[in-house]
C-alpha cells in the first residue's frame, strides 16, 4: 500500500484486521472468477519495515490449485496475473478507505484528491512460487511472530544509545542507524500486536469453516492420507526435544517432585 496510508493504519489498528480480510477476499474472487475453484489462503500481516519504521504489509500464501465444488474435483493452476490482481486490490482498498476515513474526515476534498492520485499509480505486488513444502515452511516461519529486529543486527547498546544495522533499498547497502534508547523503545512498541490479534489468518479452504466442510473431500481427491492432529507436548517433553534439557531433573540427575511451599522467614529486625 502507498506510504501515505501508513499513518492511518498506525492510528487505528482496526484497519490492520480489515485490510487482511479484504486481501483474502480479492484473491478468492480472482481465483474463482478465472478458475472457478476455492483455494487455500494463509495470510501473515506485518507492520515493521527494514528500518523498524511502521510499514504495514501482507504476506499471503495461496495454494496452486483449488476445489471445484460443483464438479467435486481438484483443479491445479499455475498463473496469477499480478497486474490484474493489482487493479482489483487497489480498487478494493481505495473504496474501503474512502468509506472508512470519509466518516470522520475534516477535509473530504483533500481526502478524495489523495485517493484519486493513488488510484492512478501502480502498487507493488510481488508473486513467486515455492519449490517445496520445506521452502514454504521456512518462508512462513520467518514472518510469523518474530521480533522486529534480529539480535545480530544490533551493533551496540548503552544506557544512552542503540546502534543497529538496517538494509537501505535505495542505497542497496547496509547502513548503521544510531538512536536514543527512548527512540529505540518507541520503534519497537509500535509493532506490538494488539491483544488477541492473530499472527496468522486463514481463508478459503484454510478457514475454520472451509476445513470443517471440505478437508475430507480435498484429501480424498488428492489421494493423500489425513493424519490425526498431533498431541500437544508437555512443558517437560518440549524442553527435552528443543533444548536438550529436562527442567524437572536436579543437578544429580534425580527427578524433582512437588512437596509444598515454604513460607519465607520474617527478618528479625522486621519482627
Helix (H, G, I), strand (E, B) or coil at 159: coil
pLDDT for 254: 92
pLDDT for 139: 80
48: in domain? yes
254: in domain? no
pLDDT for 35: 93
Domain that holds residue 220: 3-148+191-232
170: in domain? no
Q: What is the pTM of this model?
A: 0.78
168: in domain? no
204: in domain? yes
pLDDT for 159: 93
| Look-up of cell digits 527494514 | 50
pLDDT for 270: 56
249: in domain? no
179: in domain? no
pLDDT for 269: 66
Which of 46, 43, 59, 9 has the alpha carbon at shortest distance from 191? 46
Q: Give the count of beta carbons closer than 10 Å to the beta carbon of residue 177.
A: 17
Give whole-number Cα distances, 179 to 51, 156, 195, 270, in Å: 11, 11, 28, 46
Tens-level pLDDT at each residue, the chain (271 residues) = 888 899 889 888 889 889 999 999 999 999 999 999 999 999 999 899 888 999 999 999 999 999 999 899 999 987 888 999 999 999 999 999 998 887 676 677 888 888 999 999 999 888 888 888 788 878 877 777 778 898 899 999 999 999 999 988 888 899 999 999 999 999 999 998 888 888 899 999 999 999 999 998 999 998 888 888 888 999 999 999 999 999 999 989 999 988 888 888 887 765 5
CA-derived radius of gyration, the chain? 25
**Residue 65: all three cell numbers together:** 490449485
Q: Domain total for the chain?
A: 1
pLDDT for 230: 85
pLDDT for 32: 93
153: in domain? no
Amino acid at each position: 500500500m502507498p506510504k501515505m496510508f501508513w499513518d492511518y493504519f498506525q492510528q487505528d489498528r482496526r484497519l490492520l484486521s480489515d485490510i487482511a480480510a479484504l486481501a483474502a477476499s480479492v484473491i478468492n474472487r480472482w481465483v474463482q472468477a478465472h478458475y472457478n475453484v476455492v483455494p487455500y489462503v494463509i495470510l501473515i500481516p506485518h507492520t515493521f519495515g527494514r528500518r523498524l519504521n511502521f510499514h504495514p504489509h501482507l504476506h499471503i500464501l495461496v495454494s496452486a490449485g483449488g476445489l471445484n465444488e460443483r464438479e467435486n474435483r481438484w483443479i491445479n493452476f499455475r498463473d496469477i496475473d499480478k497486474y490484474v490482481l493489482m487493479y482489483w486490490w487497489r480498487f478494493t482498498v481505495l473504496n474501503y478507505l474512502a468509506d472508512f476515513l470519509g466518516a470522520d474526515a475534516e477535509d473530504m476534498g483533500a481526502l478524495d484528491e489523495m485517493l484519486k492520485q493513488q488510484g492512478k499509480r501502480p502498487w507493488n505486488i510481488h508473486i513467486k512460487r515455492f519449490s517445496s513444502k520445506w521452502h514454504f515452511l521456512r518462508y512462513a516461519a520467518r514472518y510469523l511472530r518474530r521480533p522486529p529486529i534480529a539480535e545480530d543486527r544490533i551493533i551496540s547498546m548503552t544506557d544512552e544509545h542503540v546502534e543497529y544495522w538496517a538494509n537501505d533499498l535505495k542505497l542497496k547497502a547496509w547502513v548503521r542507524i544510531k538512536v536514543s534508547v527512548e527512540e529505540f523503545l518507541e520503534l519497537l512498541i509500535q509493532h506490538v500486536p494488539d491483544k488477541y490479534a492473530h499472527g496468522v489468518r486463514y481463508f478459503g479452504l484454510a478457514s475454520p469453516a472451509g476445513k470443517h466442510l471440505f478437508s475430507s473431500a480435498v484429501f480424498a481427491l488428492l489421494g493423500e492420507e489425513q493424519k490425526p492432529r498431533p498431541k500437544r507436548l508437555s512443558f517437560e517433553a518440549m524442553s527435552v526435544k528443543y533444548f536438550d534439557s529436562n527442567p524437572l531433573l536436579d543437578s544429580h540427575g534425580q527427578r524433582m517432585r512437588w512437596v509444598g511451599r515454604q513460607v519465607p522467614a520474617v527478618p528479625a529486625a522486621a519482627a
